[in-house]
Amino acid sequence: MKPVLSILLITSAVALGACGQTRGERALTGGLLGAGAGAGVSAIAGGSLLTGAVVGGLGGAAVGALTGPGRH
């Protein structure tokens, strides 16, 4: 059950990482969502919350900065 929940959290963070109009906004929202998802995954896996938040935040910021604005 833990791997499924982890995959869902990561997928949600990546999907929402593209929210925002500018590259900076997308990096910020991606970083915040990634940090939350990383901390959540670490809590489930029994790891360090701080490490999970940092790794998730960096990954989310990178994904947010590298994606284009969504088309609605």
The per-residue pLDDT for range 53-70, each reduced to its tens digit, is 999 999 999 988 888 776
pLDDT at 6 over 50: yes
Q: Domain containing 49: what range? A: 21-66
Q: Is position 5 within any domain?
A: no
Q: Is position 50 within any domain?
A: yes
Q: Would you say 57 and 39 are in contact if contact means Cβ atoms under 8 Å apart?
A: no
**What is the model's pLDDT at position 12?**
67
pLDDT level of residue 71 (50, 70, 90 thresholds) = low
Q: Is position 6 within any domain?
A: no
Q: Is position 2 within any domain?
A: no
CA atoms within 13 A on the CB side of 67: 25
Compute the distance between CA of residue 29 and CA of residue 16 in angstroms, rounded to an integer: 8
Overall number of domains in the chain:
1
pLDDT in tens, 17-66: 556 788 898 899 889 889 988 988 888 889 998 999 999 999 999 988 88
Q: Is position 12 within any domain?
A: no
Q: Is position 37 within any domain?
A: yes
Q: Is position 54 within any domain?
A: yes
Q: Would you say 28 and 16 are in contact if contact means Cβ atoms under 8 Å apart?
A: no
**What is the model's pLDDT at position 9?**
66
